[in-house]
Amino acid sequence: MELYFFWGAFAAYTVAMSLFIGYAITRRELLAQVAKKGLVFAVICHGVSLIIRTTIARAMPQHSWYVPWSNWFESFSFFAAVIVVEYLIIQRKHEIPILGAFVTPLAFISMVVAIHSPFGTQIPNLPPALQSYWMAIHVPVMFISYAAFANAFGIGIAYLLQEYQIKSRKPSHLMFRLPALDDLDNMIYRVIWTAFPILTLGVLLGARWAYDAWGRYWGWDPKETWALVTWLTYLIYLQMRLIAGWRGRKTAYLSLLGFVVVIGTYIGVNYLSPLHAFLSNGGK
């Protein structure tokens, strides 16, 4: 049942992304208006699918703490939803629909990765370590920060594209759609500026969970180490921008690098981390 809503959400994400790209190419306002409404519809469908899935799972034995981000499929699906929700919040504040053409593809890719989960779409068997209320606290906090960094990444791409257009002798009409470089730079900064304390809180909550589960705050597990690398990358970004006065291309590149580290932490390290292997073994 919940998969119908999931597929509805996926279809709506796909249509919205296509409309945003169409808007970037054709400059037809109607496309952007429909795309925004499509995204809202997709998020509602996605939310309903997550609620139904949670309700079904919690009726199963040993799933009283179940939350719908416990394995590969659920995690990427949830990540896509959070990226889009945060984009809608940014959009509500700044009203720059063209950014949708840079951010919605990230949500789309996340949905595609979820769909192609090597462990299927079924509700996973939760290992004892994941049967904790911390799963409902630590993980969403991390996702909120990761999704914000995904948005910063999308805006960073827009920044570099705009810079290229401005320097180009024959700029396309995309240049007139995209905001000024300073505005984009400030937007990246504000998104990272907001997400960084959330990431810090997420890491500390993870330490607290580790203390309750294993009696230690920090074990230099690959996932933990790479979470620290992510944190340091964005700390450097903020430090360089605020203290060293970096602006523009250098900070845009740093924001892109930060998101690459996030992806490495989120996906790659699961294959190295025995404690955070729930993505790579499907919660089996």
Partner 1 sequence: MFGFEEVLPIQEGKTAALRNRPTQVTLNSFTIGYYNSSDTPSRYASDLEVMEQGRLVGKKRIAVNDPLDINNMRFYQGSWGMTQDFRSARLLLAGREMELHQNEAVPVPGTPLAVRANRFLPSFSVDASGHAATTDFEGKNPALQIDFLENGATKARVWLLKNQPNAAFKIGEDGQARPAAPPPFHLLDVAPVFFSEIHVVYDPGAPLFWMSSVGLLIGLCLRFYLHQWRD
Stretch of 2-10, 97-105, 200-208, 249-257 lying at the interface with partner 1 (CB under 8 A): 200-208
Stretch of 112-120, 129-137, 220-228, 264-272 lying at the interface with partner 1 (CB under 8 A): 129-137
Lookup: tokens for 24: 């970037």
CA 282 to chain centroid: 20
- Interaction of residue 134 with partner 1, rule CB under 8 A: yes
Lookup: tokens for 160: 């570099």
- Interaction of residue 120 with partner 1, rule CB under 8 A: no
Residue by residue, DSSP assigns 231-269 as HHHHHHHHHHHHTS---THHHHHHHHHHHHHHHHHHTGG
Among residues 107 and 144, whose Cβ is nearest to partner 1?
144
Q: 């699906």: which residue's tokens?
A: 77
End-to-end C-alpha distance for the chain, whole angstroms: 23
- Interaction of residue 217 with partner 1, rule CB under 8 A: yes
Among 164, 214, 232, 244, binds partner 1 (CB under 8 A): 214
Stretch of 29-37, 39-47, 201-209, 250-258 lying at the interface with partner 1 (CB under 8 A): 201-209
> Are residues 71 and 140 in contact, defined by beta-carbon separation less than 8 angstroms?
no
Q: How far is it, in rounded angstroms, from Cα 97 to Cα 78?
A: 23
Among residues 10 and 134, whose Cβ is nearest to partner 1?
134
Q: Interface mask (CB under 8 A) for partner 1, residues 94-113, using x and -? A: --------------------
- Is residue 119 classed as helix, strand or coil in its secondary structure? coil
Q: Interface mask (CB under 8 A) for partner 1, residues 45-74, using x and -? A: ----------------xx------------
Q: How far is the CB of 116 from partner 1 (least distance, A)?
A: 23
Among 11, 56, 229, 238, binds partner 1 (CB under 8 A): 238
Q: How far is it, in rounded angstroms, from Cα 278 to Cα 76?
A: 12
Scored b (16 or more CB within 10 A) or e, 90-115 reads bbeeeebbbbbbbbbbbbbbbbebbe
Among 216, 219, 260, 271, binds partner 1 (CB under 8 A): 216
> Under the rule (CB under 8 A), what is the footprint of partner 1?
61-62, 125-129, 131-132, 134, 193, 196-197, 200-201, 204, 207-208, 211-217, 238, 242, 284
